[in-house]
Chain A
Amino acid sequence: EVQLVESGGGLVQPGGSLRLSCAASGFTFTSYWMSWVRQAPGKGLQWVANIKQDGSEKYYVDSVKGRFTISRDNAKNSLYLQMNSLRAEDTAVYYCARGIAARDYQPYYFDYWGQGTLVTVSS
């Protein structure tokens, strides 16, 4: 059974940092792109970042470029999101998701998701 379990969310002050983790199990982690998707309170889903199977390619939504870093440890079947210079508008539930891609392209849909971890940026 595919499982994705996020952790690391919490309350942080504006300008602060937080590192999210996602523990994956039940599938061959090294065979899939992995992604972070977020949902701000009362808002819709927003894709945040993608990372290729071997970590060689990373992509971000414009609003987090230069502040967030996606990474993975294939030996530990884990995905991470380092979030720096956090802003109030980064407040959201952050989901770890398995991405499905065609050939050499980025994922175009997500077939498994975690339950999410809440990040609140507030003073």
Chain B
Amino acid sequence: QSVLTQPPSVSAAPGQKVTISCSGSSSNIGNNYVSWYQLLPGTAPKLLIYDNSRRPSGIPDRFSGSKSGTSATLGITGLQTGDEADYYCGTWDSSLSAVVFGGGTKLTVL
């Protein structure tokens, strides 16, 4: 059971927009920065978003992040088949003194 809650799956058509939610509590998301990661089979996980909404260099602006209260959201616009992957949110948990992750969301681009 993950500390952060994500929907198991989301789907959308190519070119469309999708959002992935990540819900936590005051001990984690509510008082700490959120990051998002993309996991493609057989490849190294990739950091997409850090500090709630900042993109590392090389990450296209199709990917965006936001946070409100104890929830965070990853948005992906202009969906491409190459975006099919598992997406994870992560943050520091002040009670556990550890980075915690969501259970992951599988994105299907129909």
Contact = CB atoms under 8 A, between A and B. Distances in A.
Report whether chain A binds chain B: yes
B90 interface: yes
Contacts of B103: 43-44
Interface stretch (A23-31, A74-82, A105-113): A105-113
A113 B37 CA distance: 10
A100 B44 CA distance: 17
Contact of B33 (A95, A108, A111, A112): A108
Contacts of B100: 47
B45 interface: yes
Interface in A43-73: 43-47, 59, 61
A73 B65 CA distance: 36
Nearest to A109: B35
Contacts of A39: 39
B52 to A, nearest CB: 11
Nearest to B92: A108
Nearest to A35: B99
Contacts of B98: 47, 59, 61, 106
A47 B101 contact: yes
B2 A4 contact: no
B104 A107 contact: no
A45 B44 contact: no
A48 to B, nearest CB: 10
Contacts of B37: 45, 110, 113
Contacts of B92: 106, 108
Nearest to B33: A108
Interface of B: 2, 32-33, 35, 37, 39, 42-47, 50, 56, 88, 90-92, 97-104
